[in-house]
């Protein structure tokens, strides 16, 4: 019966090294090379290759050579430049049309900058090696001033916090939102290849809400079916102060209602019991109260079929009252990366 020859590619480097050394030692002890190689299951020319290596360099020549890994295509300063470019720059600054970094764009960026060709799979591995991962970005208005945002986080808000501490005041962040019945979020089960349809009323109506939250987990809110005017906002301010033994520092955005003469006159007549402060322009991500509305739309209204304004108002009120009873969730709105600066 003819012996099947071994495929050396299926053996480890250590096993092949042992076979080579043992074969040469047997030949040196007097056995026939053909007999030895046949017994080991290798081809006849292989034993003579091993003998030639041995006679030229001894047993060391038969030992397995370390297999070097492929040299990284990008190293040191190149990797540092790539990391800083992806994390600090917009792709449009490099003449790309899309505003979010994709593996294909990073691949092209590497080709342009370093004249190195890489597959998208290799680019993905490289990005993960750099500690990067695909994430849903926060949308920020291009009009915002990064210097004002930095100043707010590092100087202005710490000053307000120190002022509130000296006055024994509570800090709240406030915001308004309009909720509509045609907002839906999440997924649903449906036959493969068939896009599901959510049936709802064609009527158009909305509900306006105003709320304010504190880093301690407090939540105050008010619903209104009309527009938020200066009078409506003043009514909310009265409710916010009602029953509070401490002064209130309320931080809001630059909405015209917040800056109106009527609101300013009302606040000035309160002898310091309420003070208003404004966030930098075009910076809603700095306001923890924005997460109240995201939570409402994603966890309640966005998953409900709403057939009328009364039902929508009932659902919104139920959700907001439930949120008032869960201060841990409210405090979690201050742990988001963009609002963590305001946490206690």
Within 8 A by CB and 6+ apart from 119, the residues are 107
Instruction: Give pLDDT tens digits for 125-144.
Output: 888 888 887 766 655 555 67
State the chain's mean pLDDT as an integer: 82
pLDDT of residue 184: 45
List the single range of 31-35, 88-92, 100-104 with lowest mean pLDDT: 88-92
Distance of CA 279 to the CA centre of its chain: 23
Q: Are 201 and 312 in contact (CB under 8 A)?
A: no
CB-based burial of residue 167 (10 Å sphere; 0-12 exposed, 13-18 middle, 19+ buried)? middle
Sequence-separated (6 or more) residues with CB below 8 Å from residue 214: 170, 171, 172, 173, 330
Q: What is the pLDDT of residues 195-246, one digit of tens each?
A: 544 454 445 567 899 999 999 999 999 999 888 999 999 999 999 999 899 9
Give the pLDDT band (50/70/90) at residue 9: low
- Split at pLDDT 50, 70, 90, the class of 255 is very high
Are 67 and 76 within 8 A, CB to CB? no
Mean pLDDT lowest among 53-57, 62-66, 183-187, 202-206: 183-187
Question: Minimal CA–CA distance to 229: which of 253, 256, 254, 205?
Answer: 256
Least confident among 21-25, 230-234, 253-257: 21-25
Strand order in the sheet with 274-278: 219-224, 207-213, 170-179, 248-252, 274-278
Rg (CA), the chain: 35
Q: Which residue has the tokens 């030229």?
A: 56
**SS3 state of residue 213:** strand
CATH (one of 3.30.420.10, 1.10.10.10, 3.90.1210.10, 1.10.940.10) for 146-342: 3.30.420.10
Please tell me the pTM assigned to this model: 0.57
Give the pLDDT band (50/70/90) at residue 310. Answer: confident
């Amino acid at each position: 019966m003819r012996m099947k020859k071994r495929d050396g590619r299926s053996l480890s480097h250590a096993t092949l090294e042992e076979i080579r050394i043992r074969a040469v030692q047997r030949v040196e002890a007097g056995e026939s090379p053909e007999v030895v190689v046949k017994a080991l299951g290798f081809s006849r020319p292989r034993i003579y290759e091993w003998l030639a290596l041995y006679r030229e360099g001894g047993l060391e020549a038969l030992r397995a050579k370390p297999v070097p890994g492929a040299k990284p295509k990008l190293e040191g300063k190149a990797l540092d430049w790539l990391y800083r470019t992806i994390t600090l720059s917009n792709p449009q600054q490099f003449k790309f049309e899309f505003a979010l970094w994709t593996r294909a764009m990073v691949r092209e960026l590497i080709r342009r900058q370093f004249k190195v060709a890489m597959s998208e799979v290799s680019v993905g591995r490289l990005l993960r090696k750099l500690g990067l991962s695909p994430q849903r970005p926060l949308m920020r208005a291009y009009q915002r001033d990064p210097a004002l945002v930095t100043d707010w986080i590092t100087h202005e808000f710490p000053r307000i916090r120190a002022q509130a501490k000296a006055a024994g005041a509570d800090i709240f962040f406030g915001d308004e939102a309009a909720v509509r019945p045609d907002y839906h979020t999440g997924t649903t089960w449906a036959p493969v290849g068939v896009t599901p349809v959510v049936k709802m009323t064609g009527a158009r109506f909305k509900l306006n809400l105003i709320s304010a939250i504190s880093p301690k987990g407090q939540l105050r809110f008010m619903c209104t079916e009309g527009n938020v005017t200066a009078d409506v906002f003043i009514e909310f301010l009265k409710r916010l102060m009602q029953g509070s033994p401490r002064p209130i520092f309320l931080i809001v955005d630059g909405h015209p209602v917040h800056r109106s003469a009527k609101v300013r006159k009302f606040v000035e007549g309160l002898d310091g019991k309420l003070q208003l402060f404004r966030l930098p322009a075009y910076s809603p991500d700095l306001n923890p109260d924005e997460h109240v509305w995201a939570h409402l739309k994603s966890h309640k209204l966005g998953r409900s079929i709403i057939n009328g304004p009364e039902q929508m108002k009932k659902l919104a009120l139920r959700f907001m009252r439930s949120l008032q009873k869960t201060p841990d969730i409210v405090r979690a709105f201050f742990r988001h990366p963009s609002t963590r600066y305001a946490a206690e």
